[in-house]
Amino acid sequence: MKLLMLTLLSAAALLPAAEFKPLYNGKDLTGWKMTGPGQFVIEDGLMKTEGGMGLLYFTKEKFGNCVVRVVFKTVGDHANSGVIIRLPEAPPDPWYGVHNGYEVQIDAAGDDWHSTGAIYSLSKVTSRQQKPAGEWNTMDIEIKGQVTKISLNGVVVNEFKGDQPVPERKMWYEPVRGPRPDSGYIGVQNHDKSSTVFFKEISVKSLK
């Protein structure tokens, strides 16, 4: 029996670990769709925010029980963007993601509730890990049931459970409070004309 267990453990160790599947192909926006006045353009193989408010979402699949990896850099310390997760349906407008999914913030200049790694106005960061403007950052967003865990450059900065207490909603642009689905569409936000953010990787690894 002991020999059998060792054999099974050895065999399991040889199985390939789940790998990240790229959603952005490094060439164009195949599989993605834009809503809102802003846009994403491809520049030197990178996705670049441009124009006004907008939401670019991946149309082919909903994601749950996974890790979403986003590699990005900002141009300027006040550049603003976000990663949208748990969207229940295709967004009809750029604000739909904020109010019906979760926006994982990208903004080095925001307060703890609105800085990089925060779930916008719902769950604050425990530390600031974003690198200076012009340097690449890796954000991993783990979606597992109702738990969302966010790591920035290898450090866990936020962990949020869908039913935990959140601050009172005070402004119209803050997300509507309430539960989000276990899985949904994902997207990236173009915030405003003065914010420029580059993305070189958006990929997903299954946790199933």
Residues 5-52 pLDDT 10s: 444 444 444 445 679 999 999 999 999 999 998 999 999 999 999 988
User: Within a domain: residue 31?
Assistant: no
User: Within a domain: residue 102?
Assistant: yes
User: Within a domain: residue 28?
Assistant: no
User: Within a domain: residue 7?
Assistant: no
Residue 167: count of CB within 10 angstroms of its CB = 12
Cα gap 115→126, rounded to integer Å: 10
Q: Residue 193: its pLDDT value, please?
A: 87
Number of domains comprising the chain = 1
Q: Residue 39: its pLDDT value, please?
A: 93
User: Within a domain: residue 4?
Assistant: no
Q: What is the CATH number of the domain that holds 159?
A: 2.60.120.560
The DSSP element (H or E) to which 181 belongs, if any, is none
> Residue 83's beta-bridge partner residues?
104, 188
Q: Model pTM greater than 0.75? A: yes
Could you tell me the two tokens for 25? 């192909």
| Mean pLDDT computed over 147-168 | 97
Can you give the residue range of the structural domain that contains 201? Answer: 36-206
Query: What does the mean pLDDT of the chain come to?
Result: 92
User: Within a domain: residue 46?
Assistant: yes
18-25: long-range contacts, CB 8 A cutoff, minimum separation 24: 18/205, 18/206, 18/207, 19/205, 20/67, 20/69, 20/203, 20/204, 20/205, 21/203, 21/204, 21/205, 22/201, 22/202, 22/203, 23/58, 23/186, 23/202, 23/203, 23/204, 24/199, 24/201, 24/202, 24/203
Taking only the tens place, the pLDDT of each residue in 170-207 is 999 999 999 999 999 999 999 988 899 999 999 999 99
Taking only the tens place, the pLDDT of each residue in 38-92 is 999 999 999 999 988 999 999 999 999 999 999 999 999 999 999 999 999 999 9
User: Within a domain: residue 21?
Assistant: no
User: Within a domain: residue 185?
Assistant: yes
Q: Residue 9: its pLDDT value, please?
A: 45
